[in-house]
């Protein structure tokens, strides 16, 4: 169980000298690694079409993606660990996307942003040039529907990815949703009735 600082309490910890407890933090190496990873996701700028506008808006001042540690957009795959594929992926681009994904160091994550990268979107049926889903080319961690998704939705997708990263080390986070996410307020901040 994490305490209120999110730090893991090891069984048997209470046997330690109380003075020692105040100066020493006991935790798991995997937990610290994942903690670092989830707070320093460096996205690779992969804007392919209109969805990229929302991605840029998310990174800009109003929505400030830096609050979640994911605002350092890199122009090189070698410096990034998160690929936000935002836009329409054409068949001509697909091999390049695959190659750039392969150049990213492990561990690496992919967010499929928008209807186009999830399944072809408006071009799915007759767009001969559009790949019908980026998951045909690279594995996807989080699917983010919308045409385009709002910046809030992209922030939510990044939070989901952060939960996912931390989940791997077997930890639950204090603010991690249990089961289906429950939002008691509507868009205007008013309480919505349960009925």
Partner 1 sequence: MAEPSDSPVAAAADPVTAKALEALQAALPDAVVDSVLTGQHPWIQVRAQDLRATCRLLRDDPALRYDCCHLISAVDFPAPTEGEPHIDVVYHLVSYVVRPEASYAKRAEKNDPFLAIKVSLPREKPEVPTVLDIWIGADWHERETWDLMGVRFTGRAELPRILLPEDWPGHPLRKDWEFPASYHGVPIIPPEGL
Residue 114 Cβ, how far from ligand SF4 at the closest point, in Å?
Answer: 3
Nearest to 83 by CA among 115, 51, 120, 112: 112
The whole-angstrom separation of Cα 108 and Cα 141 is: 10
129 binds, among partner 1, ligand SF4, none (CB under 5 to 8 A by kind): partner 1
Contact of 96 with 57, CB cutoff 8 Å: no
- Say how many residues touch ligand SF4, by CB under 6 A: 12
121 binds, among ligand SF4, partner 1, none (CB under 5 to 8 A by kind): ligand SF4
The whole-angstrom separation of Cα 195 and Cα 192 is: 9
| Residue 185, beta-bridge partner list | 191
Binding mask of the shown chain, residues 74 to 103, with x at each position contacting ligand SF4 by CB under 6 A: -------------xx---------------
Phi, psi angles (nearest 5°) of residue 193: -75, 150
Closest to partner 1 by CB, 67 or 92 = 92
88 binds, among ligand SF4, partner 1, none (CB under 5 to 8 A by kind): ligand SF4
Interhelix angle 51-59/151-167, nearest 10 degrees: 70
Contact of 143 with 118, CB cutoff 8 Å: yes
Q: Check binding of 137 to partner 1 (CB under 8 A).
A: yes
Closest to ligand SF4 by CB, 100 or 112 = 112
Binding mask of the shown chain, residues 148 to 167, with x at each position contacting ligand SF4 by CB under 6 A: x-------------------
């Amino acid at each position: 169980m994490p305490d209120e600082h999110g730090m893991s309490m090891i069984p048997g910890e209470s046997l330690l000298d109380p003075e020692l407890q105040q100066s020493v933090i006991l935790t798991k190496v995997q937990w610290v690694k994942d903690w670092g990873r989830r707070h320093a996701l460096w996205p690779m700028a992969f804007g392919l079409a209109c969805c990229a506008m929302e991605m840029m808006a998310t990174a800009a001042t109003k929505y400030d993606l830096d609050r979640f540690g994911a605002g350092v957009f890199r122009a090189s795959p070698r410096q990034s660990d998160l690929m936000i594929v935002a836009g329409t992926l054409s068949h001509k681009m697909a091999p390049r996307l695959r190659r750039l994904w392969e150049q990213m160091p492990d561990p690496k994550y992919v967010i499929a942003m928008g209807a186009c990268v999830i399944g072809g979107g408006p071009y799915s049926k007759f767009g001969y040039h559009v790949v019908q889903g980026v998951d045909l080319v690279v594995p996807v961690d989080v699917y983010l529907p919308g045409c385009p998704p709002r910046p809030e939705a992209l922030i939510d997708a990044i939070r989901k990815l952060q939960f996912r990263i931390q989940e791997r080390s077997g930890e639950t986070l204090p603010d991690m949703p249990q089961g289906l996410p429950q939002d008691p307020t509507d868009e205007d901040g008013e309480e919505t009735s349960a009925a």
